[in-house]
């Protein structure tokens, strides 16, 4: 099978590439390396079935050619990470919406439409006041103190674009809503919390928790995430509709910090930082992100292989190895 991955040098994209190479597929990735890291995919260069292209999905001239020969496309290219989203609001809507439109248009023109997995986000749930984050609930997006509104609406727009193109052109499109993937190769540089905590705990410096840490999140190991994406891609019954992909195990950010310190055997303390200092005065904190996974489990045979504790232990081991070798992963 020929696999094409946009944003393929990023955290999830590189794991998708590895997953499909291990299955014997041919893999081509494109990435402008704005948040992706070429080191993420360097180990694949020796594989004759793999090719890397550096390019912006808005302008890269090879897009139409790769789509024409692809059997499956994973569209992972987007402006991501809390810090980058807050700092580059124009890029968020430009890349996330226009880039997706360009991709969909080329797929629509292709003689044989490749199957598309278009990555959406739990951010589309906005500020819904319910612990039951199901795919069909009514969405709420307050305008004031909502610096992440552009990102949330860009991903919701992607879902609308995918549905429209799918209906108009008979395209096969899976629309996973991803919830907080974590694991190897994720950087803390763009606001992702777990790699930041791992690095701080190994270094023995305070773990920085924004707010009082009572906000909860549900973390899914990326190695589970890519399996779920493959299963969704393989089941036509799930195409054309959003499907939550993540882990329903919920933990507060404060408890996550304590868990990392405990499993690291670290002497680090915890430092509380006001949201305004970390994210700016217009940041409205979302208190909960816990997916209901009934639709995913109904459509696929997916089962989690990684607990949060196992993921943390694996990341601690990797970070210590990098520190010992003179480099750091975060």
Assigned token pair, 283: 């940041």
Q: CA 223, CA 14: separation in Å to the nearest integer?
A: 11
Return the CATH number of the domain spanning residue range 2-182+220-247+289-305: 3.40.50.720
Confidence of residue 93 (pLDDT cuts 50, 70, 90): confident
pLDDT surpassing 80 at residue 81: no
pTM for this model (two decimals): 0.93
Query: Helix, strand, or coil here: 186?
Result: coil
Residue 295: name the closest of 217, 236, 242, 220 by CA: 242
Average pLDDT over residues 142-146: 72
pLDDT of residue 145: 64
Domain boundaries along the sequence of the chain:
2-182+220-247+289-305
| Residue 98 DSSP label | I
Q: CA 89, CA 81: separation in Å to the nearest integer?
A: 12
Please state, in angstroms and as integers, the Cα–Cα distance from residue 72 to each residue in 5, 27, 224, 263, following that order. 9, 10, 19, 39
pLDDT, tens digit, for every residue of 273-283? 997 765 555 55
Average pLDDT over residues 94-122: 96
pLDDT surpassing 80 at residue 326: no
Catalytic-role residue among 50, 151, 165, 190 = 151
Query: Helix, strand, or coil here: 276?
Result: helix
Confidence of residue 149 (pLDDT cuts 50, 70, 90): confident
pLDDT of residue 282: 52
pLDDT, tens digit, for every residue of 230-257? 999 999 999 999 999 999 999 999 999 9
Average pLDDT over residues 146-157: 88
Lowest mean pLDDT among 3-7, 10-14, 88-92: 88-92
pLDDT, tens digit, for every residue of 159-215? 999 999 999 999 999 999 999 999 999 987 766 899 999 999 999 999 999 999 999
Confidence of residue 330 (pLDDT cuts 50, 70, 90): very low
Catalytic residue check, 151: yes
């Amino acid at each position: 099978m020929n696999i094409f991955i946009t944003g393929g040098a990023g955290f999830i994209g590189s794991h998708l590439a590895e997953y499909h190479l291990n299955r014997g597929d041919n893999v081509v990735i494109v990435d402008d390396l704005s948040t992706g890291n070429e080191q993420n995919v360097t180990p694949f260069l020796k594989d004759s079935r793999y090719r890397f292209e550096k390019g912006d999905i808005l302008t890269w001239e090879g897009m139409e050619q790769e789509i024409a020969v692809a059997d499956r496309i994973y569209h992972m290219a987007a402006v991501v990470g809390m810090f980058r989203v807050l700092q580059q609001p124009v890029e968020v809507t430009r890349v996330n919406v226009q880039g997706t439109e360009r991709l969909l248009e080329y797929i629509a023109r292709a003689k044989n439409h490749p199957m598309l997995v278009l990555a959406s986000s739990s951010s589309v749930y906005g500020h819904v006041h319910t612990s039951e984050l199901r795919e069909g609930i009514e969405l709420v997006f307050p305008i004031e103190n909502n610096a992440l509104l552009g990102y949330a609406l860009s991903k919701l727009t992607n879902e609308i674009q995918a549905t429209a193109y799918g209906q108009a052109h008979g395209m096969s499109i899976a629309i996973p809503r991803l919830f907080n993937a974590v694991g190897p190769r994720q950087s803390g540089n763009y606001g992702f919390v777990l790699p930041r905590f791992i690095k701080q705990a190994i270094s023995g410096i305070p773990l920085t928790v924004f707010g009082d840490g009572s906000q909860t999140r549900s973390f899914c190991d990326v190695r589970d995430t890519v399996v779920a994406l493959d299963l969704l891609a393989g089941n036509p019954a799930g195409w054309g509709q959003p499907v939550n992909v993540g882990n329903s195990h919920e933990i507060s950010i404060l408890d996550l910090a304590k868990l990392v310190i405990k499993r690291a055997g670290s002497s680090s303390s915890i430092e509380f930082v006001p949201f305004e200092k970390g994210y700016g005065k217009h940041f409205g904190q979302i208190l909960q992100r816990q997916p209901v996974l009934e639709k995913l489990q109904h459509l696929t045979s997916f089962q989690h292989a990684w607990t949060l504790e196992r993921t943390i232990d694996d990341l601690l081991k990797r970070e210590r190895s990098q520190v010992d070798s003179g480099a750091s992963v975060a």
